[in-house]
């Protein structure tokens, strides 16, 4: 059972986690929204979503998806893992859109969604691609999300101490 779960976690969320961690190394870049203000007078996405970050994420997701599919000796897995990692990056962008609409400034916290944005989007991508059903795998998914929250808090604290992030969340 534990073995099954660890395989599930690494196989399906490894590439998405790598892709999502990559953009953090971009301190300043070209904002995806190019400074655009939405009808509510707030930024569309904000300065925390950059083209450089997105490209780094897509590249990181590619390399991780490739490595993981080679490790599991399943080449058909590669495109699915890469697509799911890109879906995760888009999920993070959608989360920033929602945060701005809620009046939360760039870098200010929105607990749970900040940590799970990419994982939720990747999970939906797998469900839509028919890789696994959210309903069949619900217990593994909940466990995965719990581990991601813990990992997120740990890595963000490290990134903050390394001065890669301005705030520890």
Residue 44 binds which of ligand CTP, Mg ion, none (CB < 5-8 A, kind-dependent): none
Least separation in angstroms between CB 82 and Mg ion: 20
Is residue 148 a contact residue for ligand CTP (CB under 6 A)?
no
Distance from C-alpha of 105 to C-alpha of 44, rounded to nearest angstrom: 11
Is residue 92 a contact residue for Mg ion (CB under 5 A)?
yes
Is residue 119 a contact residue for Mg ion (CB under 5 A)?
no
The stretch near ligand CTP (CB under 6 A) out of 44-52, 66-74, 75-83, 139-147 is 44-52
Looking at the Cβ atoms of 42 and 106, the one nearer to ligand CTP is: 106
Tokens of 131: 């890789």
Is residue 83 a contact residue for ligand CTP (CB under 6 A)?
no
Using alpha carbons, select from 100, 149, 97 the residue that is nearest to residue 120.
149
Is residue 53 a contact residue for ligand CTP (CB under 6 A)?
yes
Contact (Cβ atoms closer than 8 angstroms) between residue 66 and residue 78: yes
Is residue 85 a contact residue for ligand CTP (CB under 6 A)?
no
Tokens of 160: 């903050």
Tokens of 3: 């073995």
Q: How far is CA 51 from the centre of its chain?
A: 15
Distances (CA, A) of 121 to 52, 76, 95, 128: 20, 20, 10, 11
Is residue 50 a contact residue for ligand CTP (CB under 6 A)?
yes
List residues near Mg ion by CB under 5 A: 92, 95
């Amino acid at each position: 059972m534990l073995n099954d779960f660890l395989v599930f976690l690494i196989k399906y969320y490894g590439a998405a986690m790598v892709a999502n961690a990559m953009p953090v190394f971009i301190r300043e870049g070209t904002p995806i929204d190019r400074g655009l203000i939405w009808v509510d007078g707030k930024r569309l996405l904000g300065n925390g979503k950059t083209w450089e970050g997105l490209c780094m994420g897509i590249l990181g997701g590619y390399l991780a998806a490739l490595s993981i599919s080679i490790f599991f000796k399943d080449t058909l897995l590669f495109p699915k893992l890469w697509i799911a990692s890109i879906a995760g990056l888009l999920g993070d962008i959608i989360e920033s859109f929602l945060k701005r609409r809620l009046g939360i400034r760039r870098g200010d916290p929105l607990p749970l969604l900040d940590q799970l944005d990419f994982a939720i989007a990747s999970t939906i991508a797998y469900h839509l691609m028919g890789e696994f059903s959210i309903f069949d795998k619900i217990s593994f998914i909940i466990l995965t999300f719990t581990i991601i929250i813990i990992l997120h808090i740990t890595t963000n604290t490290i990134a903050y101490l390394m001065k890669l992030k301005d705030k520890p969340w």
